Structure 1
Amino acid sequence: MTETFQSSFKTLEYEKVILKLSQHTVSKLGREKVLTIRPSSDQERILEQLEETEDAVLLMRLRGGMPLAAFEDIRPHLKRVRVQGTLNGTEVAQIGRMLRTLREIKTFFRKAEEEDIPLNRLYDKISGLQTFNALEKKIFSIVDEGGYVLDDASAKLKGLRDGIKQTEGRARQKLESIVRGSQARFLTDALITMRNDRYVIPVKAENRSTFGGVVHDQSSTGQTLFIEPQSVVDLNNRLRQYQVEAKHEVDRILAELTVEIEPFREELEEHLKMLVDLDVIQAKGRYAKAIKAVKPRVSSENHVELYQARHPLLAEDEVVPNDIIIGEEYKTMIVTGPNTGGKTVALKTLGLLQLMGQSGLFLPAEEDSTMGIFSSVFADIGDEQSIEQSLSTFSSHLTTIVNILKQMDDKSLILLDELGAGTDPQEGAALAIAILDAIAQRGSYVMITSHYPELKAYGYNRLETINASMEFDVDTLSPTYRLLIGIPGRSNAFEIARRLGLDGMIIDSAKQLMSGESQSVDQMIEDLEGKRRQAETEAGKATEELRNAQRLHRELKAEYEAYQEEKERLRKKAEKEANTYLEKKKQEAEAIIKDLRQKQLEGHMNEPLKEHEFIDAQTRLSNLKAEEESLKKNKVLNKQKKKKTLKVGDSVEVQSFGQRGTVIDKADNKHWVVQMGMLKMKLHESDLVQVAAEKEPQQRVSVKRSSSAGVSTEIDVRGERVEEAVNKVDQYLDQALLANYPKVTIIHGMGTGAVRKGVHQYLKKHSQVKSFNDAPANQGGSGATIVTFK
Structure 2
Amino acid sequence: MNHKILETLEYGRVKGQLAQFIVSATGRAELAKLEPQTDYTTIHHWVEETEDGADLLRLVGGIPLPELADVSPQLKRLKVQASLNGTELAQITQVLRTSMAVQNFFEGLVEKKIRLRTIDNLATSLVTIPEVTRRLARSLDPDGRVTDEASTKLHGVRQLITQTEVDIRHELERYTRGKQAKKLSDPIITIRNDRYVIPVLAQYRNQFGGVVHDQSASGQTLYIEPGSVVELNNRLRQAQIEERQEVRKVLAELSDLVRPYRNDIAQNAQLLGHLDLINAKAKLAAAMKASVPLLNQEGEVNLRMARHPLIDQEKVVANDIALGKDYQAIVITGPNTGGKTITLKTLGLIQLMAQSGMFIPANENSTVAIFDNVFADIGDEQSLEQNLSTFSGHMENVKRILEQITANSLVLLDELGAGTDPKEGAALAMAILDQIGATGSEVVVTTHYPELKVYGYDRAKTINASMEFDQQTLQPTYRLLLGVPGQSNGIAIAKRLGIEQAVIDEASSLVSDDSQDLNKMIGDLVEQRKRAREENERLQALVKENAATKEELDAKLDRFNEQRDKLLERARSEANHEVSQAKKKANQIIHHLRQLEIQGATVKENELIDAQGALNALHKDNPRLNHNSVLQRAKQKHQLKVGDHVNVKSYGQQGVLLNKRGAHKWEVQLGILKMAIDEADLEKISAKQAKQAEKKHAQPRRMAVRTIQTRQTSARLDLRGHRYEEAMSELASFIDHALLNNLPSVTIIHGKGTGALRKGTQQYLQSNPRVKNFEYASPSNGGDGATIAYF
TM-score tier after normalising by the smaller chain length: 0.5 to 0.7
Change (3 A) 1:207 1:424: farther
Distance (whole Å) between structure 2 residues aligned to residue 446 and residue 160 of structure 1: 76
Cα shift at 1:504:
5.7
The answer to whether structure 1 residue 305 and structure 2 residue 315 are counterparts is: no
Matched residue, 1:70? 67
The answer to whether structure 1 residue 37 and structure 2 residue 26 are counterparts is: no
Cα shift at 1:290:
1.1
Pick which of 27-36 and 78-87 moved more. Answer: 78-87
Instruction: Give 5+ residue unaligned stretches, structure 1.
Output: 560-651, 662-694, 707-790
Matched residue, 2:236? 239
Cα shift at 1:104:
1.5
Cα shift at 1:284:
0.5
The within-5 A match list for 1:692-703 is none
Matched residue, 1:47? 44
Matched residue, 2:602? none
Matched residue, 1:607? none
Matched residue, 2:126? 129
Matched residue, 1:451? 448
Matched residue, 1:103? 100
**In 2, are the aligned partners of 1:22 and 1:35 still within 8 Å (CA)?**
no
**Cα deviation code 1:83-116 (max 9, x no counterpart):** 2222222222222222221122112111212222
The answer to whether structure 1 residue 326 and structure 2 residue 323 are counterparts is: yes
Distance (whole Å) between structure 1 residues aligned to residue 439 and residue 543 of structure 2: 38
Change (3 A) 1:297 1:545: farther
Cα shift at 1:542:
6.6
Q: CA RMSD in A?
A: 3.3
Cα shift at 1:419:
1.3
Change (3 A) 1:401 1:547: farther
Change (3 A) 1:378 1:26: same
Cα shift at 1:492:
1.8
Distance (whole Å) between structure 2 residues aligned to residue 697 and residue 113 of structure 1: 56
Matched residue, 1:609? none
2:15 alignment partner, one of 14, 18, 21? 18
**In 2, are the aligned partners of 1:474 and 1:496 still within 8 Å (CA)?**
no
Change (3 A) 1:363 1:195: same
**In 2, are the aligned partners of 1:19 and 1:35 still within 8 Å (CA)?**
no
Cα shift at 1:521:
3.0
**In 2, are the aligned partners of 1:341 and 1:472 still within 8 Å (CA)?**
yes
The answer to whether structure 1 residue 79 and structure 2 residue 76 are counterparts is: yes
**In 1, are the aligned partners of 2:34 and 2:356 still within 8 Å (CA)?**
yes
1:209 alignment partner, one of 203, 206, 218? 206
Secondary structure class of the residue paired with 1:141:
helix
1:378 alignment partner, one of 370, 375, 378? 375
Percent of paired sites with the same residue: 49
Distance (whole Å) between structure 1 residues aligned to residue 74 and residue 179 of structure 2: 55
Cα shift at 1:545:
8.0
Matched residue, 1:738? none
1:521 alignment partner, one of 518, 522, 526? 518
Cα shift at 1:163:
1.1
Matched residue, 1:745? none
The answer to whether structure 1 residue 422 and structure 2 residue 422 are counterparts is: no
Change (3 A) 1:293 1:551: farther
Letter in 2 for 1:335: I
The answer to whether structure 1 residue 394 and structure 2 residue 391 are counterparts is: yes
1:256 alignment partner, one of 253, 257, 273? 253
**In 2, are the aligned partners of 1:46 and 1:358 still within 8 Å (CA)?**
yes
Distance (whole Å) between structure 2 residues aligned to residue 348 and residue 72 of structure 1: 36
The answer to whether structure 1 residue 269 and structure 2 residue 266 are counterparts is: yes
Matched residue, 1:773? none
Matched residue, 2:353? 356
Distance (whole Å) between structure 1 residues aligned to residue 624 and residue 446 of structure 2: 71
Cα shift at 1:548:
9.4
Change (3 A) 1:36 1:516: same
1:116 alignment partner, one of 103, 113, 118? 113
Matched residue, 1:91? 88
Distance (whole Å) between structure 1 residues aligned to residue 515 and residue 465 of structure 2: 17
Secondary structure class of the residue paired with 1:391:
coil
**Cα deviation code 1:755-782 (max 9, x no counterpart):** xxxxxxxxxxxxxxxxxxxxxxxxxxxx
Letter in 2 for 1:108: F
Matched residue, 2:615? none
Matched residue, 2:584? none
Cα shift at 1:508:
4.3
**Cα deviation code 1:311-337 (max 9, x no counterpart):** 111112221111111111111111111
Distance (whole Å) between structure 2 residues aligned to residue 542 and residue 699 of structure 1: 47
Change (3 A) 1:79 1:357: same
1:290 alignment partner, one of 262, 270, 287? 287
Letter in 2 for 1:8: I
Cα shift at 1:540:
5.0
Change (3 A) 1:478 1:705: farther
The answer to whether structure 1 residue 180 and structure 2 residue 186 are counterparts is: no
Distance (whole Å) between structure 1 residues aligned to residue 490 and residue 102 of structure 2: 63
The answer to whether structure 1 residue 315 and structure 2 residue 312 are counterparts is: yes
Instruction: Give 5+ residue unaligned stretches, structure 2.
Output: 556-563, 573-619, 632-791
**In 1, are the aligned partners of 2:25 and 2:273 still within 8 Å (CA)?**
no
Change (3 A) 1:697 1:447: farther
Pick which of 503-512 and 12-21 moved more. Answer: 503-512
Change (3 A) 1:698 1:193: farther
Pick which of 478-487 and 147-156 moved more. Answer: 147-156
Larger Rg over CA atoms: 2
Cα shift at 1:285:
0.5
Cα shift at 1:429:
1.6
